[in-house]
Amino acid sequence: SYELTQPPSVSVSPGQTARITCSGDALANQYTFWYQQKPGQAPVLMIYKDRERPSGIPERFSGSSSGTTVTLTISGVQAEDEADYYCQSADTSGTYVFGAGTKVTVV
Amino acid sequence: EVQLVESGGGLVKPGGSLRLSCAASGFTLKNYSMNWIRQAPGKGLEWVSSMSPTTDYTYYADSMKGRFIISRDNAKKALYLQMSSLRAEDTAVYFCAREGLGLGSGGLDVWGQGTMVTVSS
């Protein structure tokens, strides 16, 4: 298996832009997914296939990819965006892996 | 409404066994790959296992191989996780989740609320 590396925390002011990176050797060849998790709740899929947004997810959430690093961008951060964010991908053996998670704090 | 509901969690002694269930409703289970993911208290998400729609393929995280067995009964609309030789480090909330169609392998678009497993003497 392999690892996905995320920063432990990101702080952002309301209305500003938050960027969360996720790095891993396999990301150049595998899709990445992003999940938001609030305390006591199940995760919610925010981005799939690196940059696609499921229906119902606000447009301020976007994804991008460059080589072995993918980025989740939250534009115009709102207080309700305070949560843990996890990236996830697959390796060639069919197993999946999550990053350790990034806590986004809106200050 | 599309829904997943886990059950079967509880307190178990080290070395013991437990079987988790996940009841699916609001969609046709046999069309989807399904997964188990866990989250230890205060920790991040850890992928546990997945199973293809018709049970042809199963995958496990290295630390679960040989101890956990994923299975499903599409007719009963249920997913299962048989856990044995449990250790304290298996203490976690266990979620079942659906892989969405057309999202790319691994895109988990529906999650249950989880069931807590505590391994302690």
CB contact under 8 A, B45 and A98: yes
DSSP annotation string for B55-106: SS-EEE-GGGTTTEEEEEETTTTEEEEEE-S--GGG-EEEEEEEEPTTS-TT
Residue B54 pLDDT class (50, 70, 90 cuts): confident
User: What number is the average pLDDT over the span A46-56?
Assistant: 97
Q: How much is the pLDDT for A2? A: 84
Q: How much is the pLDDT for A44? A: 98
H/E segment holding residue A70: strand A69-74
CA A36 – CA B106 distance, rounded (Å): 15
User: Per-residue pLDDT tens for B82-104?
Assistant: 999 999 999 999 999 999 988 88
Percent of chain B whose predicted confidence (pLDDT) is above 70 = 100
CA distances for B53 relative to A35, B60, B63, B93, B100, angstroms: 23, 16, 24, 24, 12
Mutation target among A3, A32, A95 for the B interface, most CBs of B within 10 A: A95
How many angstroms away from the CA of B42 is the closest CA of chain A? Answer: 10
Using DSSP, state whether B52 is helix, strand or coil. coil
**Which DSSP category does B37 fall into?**
E
To the nearest whole number, what is the mean pLDDT of chain B?
96
User: Are B20 and B115 contacting, i.e. CB atoms less than 8 angstroms apart?
Assistant: yes
To the nearest whole number, what is the mean pLDDT of chain A?
96
CA-based radius of gyration for chain A = 13
Contacts of residue B60 in chain A, CB cutoff 8 Å? 95
User: Are A6 and A18 contacting, i.e. CB atoms less than 8 angstroms apart?
Assistant: no
Contacts of residue A94 in chain B, CB cutoff 8 Å? 50, 57, 59, 105
Residue count of chain B, please give it.
Answer: 121
User: What number is the average pLDDT over the span A32-47?
Assistant: 98
pLDDT higher than threshold 80 for residue A94: yes
* Chain B contact present for A98, CB below 8 A: yes
User: Are B53 and B32 contacting, i.e. CB atoms less than 8 angstroms apart?
Assistant: yes
* Chain B contact present for A33, CB below 8 A: yes
Q: How much is the pLDDT for A1? A: 65
User: What number is the average pLDDT over the span B51-70?
Assistant: 93
User: What number is the average pLDDT over the span B71-75?
Assistant: 96
User: Per-residue pLDDT tens for B6-48?
Assistant: 999 999 999 999 999 999 999 999 999 999 999 999 999 999 9
